[in-house]
Structure 1
Amino acid sequence: MTSTLRSLLSIIQKSIDDIETVFEKRGVAFPSIDEPPSDSDAIRLEATVQAATALLTSAVHQLLANVQPPQAYILNNLFGYYMPSALRAVMETNVVEILREAGPQGMHVKEIAKRAQVDPTKLSSILCYLATHHIFREIEPDVYVNNRLSSVWDTGKSLSEIQESPLTKFDGTNGIAAVIGHCADESYKGAGQITEHIMAPDTAFEDSPERSPMMLAVGYDKGSMWTWFEEPSNEMRLRRFGIAMNGVNSIQPPGAIIKGFDWASLPAGSVIVDVGGGIGVSAISIVRAFDHLKCIVQDQSMFVKLGREHCRKTFPEALSSGRIVYHEHDFFEPQPQTSATVFLLKQITHDWSDRYVLRIIRRLREAATPTTTLILIDTIITHPCPSHPSDIPGANIPPPPWPLVANLGVANASTHFANLTMFTHFNAQERTLMHIVELLASTGWNVTRVHRSTESEGFLPQIIAVPMPVLKT
């Protein structure tokens, strides 16, 4: 029988062959991380490349777990907490923008530190650590340039522009810098309190968002993360969080929200109610792609204000024509839109423990017509071990080749990052598909289909449900 190591090597080799074949057919070579971003990056999003990349990522990490001494593997992962710290440090000090302005010849860390107004010795340690992990490139001792990876969070703004208006640093960007800021600030601090939270008698079985690990970390006892964001001292964090959610969308293939569900089949004038829709990122994508649809974005007042501002900048004609409107609404209260064609719940239920989720989806079922569709978009958790197949179309993922774990391991790590993040922020969770199906069924919704972003991923699929018939008594 072929050894585990040889089987993993075979998967790696075939995956590389599959990726390079696609690039060769497009007449380009697979890009190096030392090259600047280019149009060839779009090829990575093709289905064949994504599937091969998932297998490659899974096999490489499983190979490392097999061959490294156990102590070394655990310690390498243990000290991983320095990565978010380092990423936030260089993001907050605008190193990427400084190096972009320096050009391909790079810049010495002393000059970078001078422009960033920080200690060069400390910055050198941070940059050396990141370059060791292939983020930035050191071309001479202490001389750095951006590479393909560091350029991902470039705001595109000049250093002077950022320094003159730090509050708007993330405005108009792809959101990745905001994701780094949010995750390496609030989330990182909250994660440090997980053990204390699960072991303390007064929080061990707590499921309310007001008593989450993050609220423990920031010493806030007046409400949940949303209340904390509304504190005057957190204005920057609130703006950053809204833009970070757009950054999460940019991690998905472009236009992911408009794929899967057949939006084009909806009748002209159909109303999509984006419940808890934030600043309207999904609504803008939908209305931009389908001009026969209208979206109502519902959220708290702070997001409604930011949403109108965002839409005015990115898609003003939709706002002025009324094809996108913003309404204040508490989704625990009765739903005012009783003739919706579609209720959209994108990354909402994962913010809440089960007892709260039941209240949200019950309100939507009460307001639904017999033909209303519910589209729930949240990460689906899959287990590393094989699971029983589902009879819901699109629910099952193909089993990976031996010896890969059933959920592709690190290739799908984002689903488990998301799960722990929801616990840290809100005492909530991402859920397995069976868990989601059971919650929906208990409130009168029947799941009819799952559309995944790729055939093997659990990250932000579309779960389609329709109202169950009301039984007459």
Structure 2
Amino acid sequence: MEKVYRAQPGDRPLDYPSLDVPFYKNATHAPEAEAAEKLASDPVVVVAASHIVAACGQLAASVHRPFFSLVEGAKAEHVTACLQYLEASNTVEILRAAGPEGMHVDDIAHRIGELSEANDASARVDGSKLSHILRLLATYHWLREVRPDVFANNRLSALVDSGKTPEELRAAPEKKYDGTDGLAAFVAMCGDEFFKSSAYMADALLPWTERATSLRKLSNKDGAGATSLTVREPKYETPFSFAFRTELGYFDWMELPENKGRLAEFGRAMTGARLWEVAENVVDSAAFPWNELPKDSVVIDVGGGVGSTSVVLANAYPHLRFVVEDRKQVVDIAPSIWGSTQHAELLASGRVSYLAQDFFQPQPPHIDIAGVGTVSFPSVYLVRGCTHNWPDRDVQRMLRLLRDSAGPTTKLLLVEVILPLACYDDTELEDAGAAPPLPGAERTLAPAGSPLLANLGKAHASEYLLDISMMAVLNAKERTLRELSTLALSAGWKVSRVTRAQGSLWAYTTAEPA
């Protein structure tokens, strides 16, 4: 293992990055710190770390008093709420400016008020309450309490740093997420729509309960601009619809004029969500043979948002052309996000272009590509992080429309989380249209002979949390390999290949016209 931890052959072993030391993305770091962070993302290290996390989580569940575990689970929403406060109050940026010695809560509270857009008593923050919020976060290792009531950032809280100075945030708070990696926006989004929706999970899924019945009687009389939730069609009667008192689906609701800020926040949050999957994974030819595609092959990035994935791929494969499809409201803001960055040349050259297209409508019969001409069908339909946003029937419709527009050699690449079972998977996939053994169909992720859960439990819990988030907001889900293969086949696509990067549940599922 010593060789694994060397920055360069012959160098001394590197220490694993310290939890107590912030690693700010826009700061200059010592070469050893840079090397340690990079090495911590090495697939071999990631897999080893996953086994450690899985073991620690399983050990803690085994020895902790059950009642205390119950309390933590039943009150876990407080951690989410405090993380949301941490981001919304700009406390991370304030503590970055304060440095490693930290800042007293009274000073933090005063600084939060200074950064507020309000100039009255409403901008005053109670330091005594702030200390309790920050102490809970420190208890969960999201901050450090360096001395009584004095707090400082650490490696985890630094993730939420926007990179803006407190002065910049005060001058232009609406630009906080501009030019960032999106993680601060991701926390804001999770603390708003997703957090609030989850509170109504039982009400939506147990419709016969007294509280659920009363919620369906909501009307404009409450003064909140609500509409009666009389639609029983499950696509719309979701925990989200109860939380925000709307019969609109999430994406339609986001496009209302009053949610313009939320829509922009969502686009930037999706950039941050790319960290769920290591960016290098999607460009790896082991995931998909991009390098084997002929020059000027067209890849249509279906539901590609502002084009985060296409930009990464276009930089890695300059011989390919990428067309990002999404709703008009999304593609209209995309050029403003990339136009002032180092990626502007991709847009100017036409290697990355945008097309307003609803993926529940038929694909255009042809697309005009700058420098290439008219293309009747693409080489690849790329669908990344999209099918998990929709229930099965909608995904079937989406994939069927792509199949109807595909050529005989068009490939479908689904880039999604594939959820392993929490037990050893002894099933086969013959009835899902794929003859086993299909690459990627691991029966367990745990080392041979290990007592660990087959899905590595705590190490991959974030993907199962994402699964429930999709259920709460969109009546959707992450899928197992059987579920995804069966769904693809029902829409005319036969899964031919599945690969998964080391240490990740994100999978690259290639399908061909059936």
Q: Same fold (TM over 0.5)?
A: yes
Per the alignment, do residues 412 and 172 of structure 1 end up closer, same or farther by CA in structure 2, a change over 3 Å counting? same
Deviation at 1:24, TM superposition (A): 4.8
Structure 1 counterpart of 2:510: 464
Q: Does structure 2 retain, via aligned residues, the 8 Å contact 1:395–1:449?
A: no
1:254 aligns with 2:261: no
Structure 1 counterpart of 2:238: 212
Q: Which amino acid aligns with 1:226?
A: F
Deviation at 1:334, TM superposition (A): 0.9
In 1, Cα distance between equivalents of 2:283 and 2:504: 17
In 1, Cα distance between equivalents of 2:178 and 2:334: 12
In 2, Cα distance between equivalents of 1:91 and 1:432: 33
Matched residue SS, 2:348: helix
In 2, Cα distance between equivalents of 1:266 and 1:191: 43
Q: Does structure 1 retain, via aligned residues, the 8 Å contact 2:413–2:510?
A: yes
Structure 1 counterpart of 2:300: 273
Structure 2 counterpart of 1:185: 192
Q: After the TM superposition, which residues 177-326 of structure 1 pair with which residues of structure 2 at under 5 Å, given as runs?
A: 177-201=184-208, 208-221=234-247, 223-259=248-284, 260-314=287-341, 315-326=343-354
CA displacement 1:146-165 (0-9 Å, x = unmatched): 11111111111011211222
Deviation at 1:23, TM superposition (A): 2.1
Deviation at 1:423, TM superposition (A): 0.7
Structure 2 counterpart of 1:42: 38
Structure 1 counterpart of 2:88: 92
Deviation at 1:325, TM superposition (A): 0.9
Q: Which of 385, 403, 427 is the equivalent residue of 1:365?
A: 403
Matched residue SS, 2:479: coil
Can you give the 5+ residue segments of structure 2 that lack an aligned partner in the other structure?
A: 24-32, 114-124, 209-215, 217-228, 367-375, 429-435
Structure 1 counterpart of 2:121: none
Structure 1 counterpart of 2:47: 51
In 1, Cα distance between equivalents of 2:270 and 2:234: 22
Could you tell which deviates more after superposition, 444-453 or 381-390?
381-390
Structure 1 counterpart of 2:486: 438
Q: Which amino acid aligns with 1:286?
A: L
Matched residue SS, 1:104: coil
In 2, Cα distance between equivalents of 1:45 and 1:81: 29
Per the alignment, do residues 443 and 251 of structure 1 end up closer, same or farther by CA in structure 2, a change over 3 Å counting? closer
Deviation at 1:102, TM superposition (A): 1.2
Structure 1 counterpart of 2:4: 22
Per the alignment, do residues 198 and 24 of structure 1 end up closer, same or farther by CA in structure 2, a change over 3 Å counting? same
1:154 aligns with 2:161: yes
Matched residue SS, 1:28: coil
Q: Which amino acid aligns with 1:89?
A: Y
In 2, Cα distance between equivalents of 1:370 and 1:356: 24
Deviation at 1:450, TM superposition (A): 1.1
Q: Does structure 2 retain, via aligned residues, the 8 Å contact 1:224–1:426?
A: yes
Per the alignment, do residues 409 and 243 of structure 1 end up closer, same or farther by CA in structure 2, a change over 3 Å counting? same
Q: After the TM superposition, which residues 381-400 of structure 1 pair with which residues of structure 2 at under 5 Å, given as runs?
A: 381-387=419-425, 388=427, 390-396=436-442, 398-400=444-446
Deviation at 1:269, TM superposition (A): 0.3
Q: After the TM superposition, which residues 19-168 of structure 1 pair with which residues of structure 2 at under 5 Å, given as runs?
A: 22-24=4-6, 27-37=13-23, 38-39=33-34, 40-117=36-113, 118-168=125-175
Q: Which of 169, 175, 181 is the equivalent residue of 1:174?
A: 181
Q: Which of 445, 449, 452 is the equivalent residue of 2:497?
A: 449
Matched residue SS, 1:407: coil
Q: Does structure 2 retain, via aligned residues, the 8 Å contact 1:137–1:147?
A: yes
In 1, Cα distance between equivalents of 2:347 and 2:504: 34
In 2, Cα distance between equivalents of 1:46 and 1:187: 31
Matched residue SS, 1:451: strand
In 1, Cα distance between equivalents of 2:491 and 2:86: 47
Per the alignment, do residues 204 and 75 of structure 1 end up closer, same or farther by CA in structure 2, a change over 3 Å counting? farther
Q: Which amino acid aligns with 1:218?
A: F
Q: Does structure 1 retain, via aligned residues, the 8 Å contact 2:444–2:455?
A: no
Structure 2 counterpart of 1:331: 359
Per the alignment, do residues 271 and 434 of structure 1 end up closer, same or farther by CA in structure 2, a change over 3 Å counting? same
Q: Which amino acid aligns with 1:198?
A: L
CA displacement 1:50-108 (0-9 Å, x = unmatched): 11111111110100111112112111222211111000101100011111111222211
In 2, Cα distance between equivalents of 1:21 and 1:127: 39
Structure 1 counterpart of 2:122: none
In 1, Cα distance between equivalents of 2:258 and 2:445: 49
Q: Does structure 1 retain, via aligned residues, the 8 Å contact 2:102–2:150?
A: yes
Q: Does structure 2 retain, via aligned residues, the 8 Å contact 1:175–1:250?
A: no
In 2, Cα distance between equivalents of 1:119 and 1:69: 34
CA displacement 1:9-49 (0-9 Å, x = unmatched): xxxxxxxxx5x762256531112111232311111111211
In 2, Cα distance between equivalents of 1:269 and 1:32: 45
Matched residue SS, 1:378: strand
Structure 1 counterpart of 2:453: 405
> Cα RMSD over matched residues?
1.9
Q: Does structure 1 retain, via aligned residues, the 8 Å contact 2:339–2:347?
A: yes
Matched residue SS, 2:510: strand
Q: Which amino acid aligns with 2:167?
A: S
| TM score, norm. by length of structure 2 | 0.84
| TM score, norm. by length of structure 1 | 0.91
Deviation at 1:313, TM superposition (A): 2.6
Give me the identity figure in percent. Answer: 36
Per the alignment, do residues 134 and 21 of structure 1 end up closer, same or farther by CA in structure 2, a change over 3 Å counting? farther
Q: Which amino acid aligns with 2:204?
A: H
Could you tell which deviates more after superposition, 200-209 or 29-38?
200-209
Q: Does structure 2 retain, via aligned residues, the 8 Å contact 1:208–1:353?
A: no
Q: Which amino acid aligns with 2:308?
A: V
Q: Which of 347, 355, 375 is the equivalent residue of 2:385?
A: 347
